[in-house]
Amino acid sequence: MKHPPPVLEALARHYERRLAGRTGEFNRDVLLDVEDLLHDAGAVEGDSRAVAEQQLREAEQAGILKLEPLHKRDRASLHQVRFSPAAEACLFDFLGRSSPKSVRDALARQFADAAAHEMLARWREGWKAWCERMRAAALAGKSVEPFDRHPSADNEKLLALLPRLLAWEGESLVRFTSCVLCGDSKTLESLATSDRDGVFRDKLRGKLGRLLEAVTNGQISTLDDLNILPNPRFALVHGPLKLRLDNEWLDLGRLHGAFRLAETDIERAERLVTSAQRCLTVENETSFHELAKLQSGDLLIQTSYPGSGTLTLLSRLPTKMGFWHFGDCDEAGFDIFRVLGERSGRAFRPLHMQAGRIPFEQEALGRPTLKHWPFYD
């Protein structure tokens, strides 16, 4: 099969970028400078230019376009190409490519077909309405983010995944859920990773979060809301802490090492008491374990952006305690400090966090030099 003329490929690319090509809406022909087309086709001079100009004339004879000379009496001097959007199908058929309209139609069919996917009754009406909005946007050439603008296999997979996610029952880790629903342990993580910084924040959001929020009218906005978790819900703790469970006291303060306390146990504890006067949250686990070795008598909790286990524990601690946070001195470190205070409702104060400190990592302070508060000279 002969390769399509480069100059007509250039015409197609120019047309696809124009409003008529993107949306199908037009009230006039598209005018393109011949020199621009020849430049994009790599046929500015010599034999390649002569061939390209001949190809344009042949396309005019085939009814694909019209050529306008610089001067009416000088038909040999080409100036502009007049292309009617009504000839779109003819041009793209000649090039052996799908036309922009056929791409929009196929993309719209993906959303129309998705409306028939089995969906929980709770979400069915919202799902159908969302699919219709996306179908209309595809036909109009509007944004369908985060979907591809062409009818891809990835679109099909994502559209099939959303109803299955909304039907997920029980609490499971994200990689297990991903294996069950996607056949791969990392697919859900990649779809749910935060677009802003490329890492998990306090909840799994990203592409999936935006879609779930749109389909459920804001009732579900993260995988966390579906009990699909990046990690088990627990708090990593060290220090004097007692829980009364089933009418018996569990003294965790007797442990020399750190312990992981499940959120379910924090919630079901009849009482929770501590002799500590201060609660110190520590961003990095490495520094947390160094501080835990000191047996200082302060209650230590390791957390970056706080998960539900950490927040549940903080909510049950005595309000008279002093709450401090020890984190990195970069933008993320201070953002964690802010979020921690906002989500816990506790009046956190920063410890050893000076803006602009270089290096900013808390580990840069080295090993604690003091056994007791504030641990560093």
Write the DSSP assignment of 209-226 as a string of letters: HHHHHHHTTTS--SSGGG
208 token code pair: 């999936």
The C-alpha atoms of residue 156 and residue 277 are separated, in whole angstroms, by 56
Which pTM does this prediction carry?
0.66
Q: Which residues pair with 292 in a beta bridge?
A: none
Provide the angle, in degrees to the nearest 10, between the axes of the packed helices 153-166 and 121-139: 160
348 within 8 A of 341, measured Cβ to Cβ: yes
Distance CA 60, CA 62 (A): 5
Task: State the pLDDT at residue 250.
Answer: 97
Ordered structural domains, the chain, with CATH: 6-97 (1.10.10), 101-229 (no CATH), 234-365 (3.40.1360.10)
Q: How far is it, in rounded angstroms, from Cα 311 to Cα 334? A: 18
Q: Comparing C-alpha atoms, which of 159, 108, 167 is closest to residue 134?
A: 108
What's the pLDDT score for residue 222?
Answer: 86
Residue ranges of the alpha helices (H) in the chain? 6-17, 19-23, 34-40, 46-61, 88-95, 100-114, 121-139, 153-166, 174-182, 187-192, 206-215, 263-268, 285-292, 308-316, 331-344
Q: What is the pLDDT of residue 77?
A: 78
Two tokens, residue 239: 């220090």
pLDDT for the residue 233: 85
Spatial separation of the C-alpha atoms in residues 82 and 57, rounded to whole Å: 12
**Structure letter (DSSP) for residue 227:** T
Low-confidence ranges of the chain (pLDDT < 50): 1, 195-204
Q: Which CA distances in Å does 115 have to 118, 131, 133, 215, 279?
A: 8, 6, 11, 11, 51
pLDDT of 4 reads 87
Nearest to 280 by CA among 239, 246, 251: 239
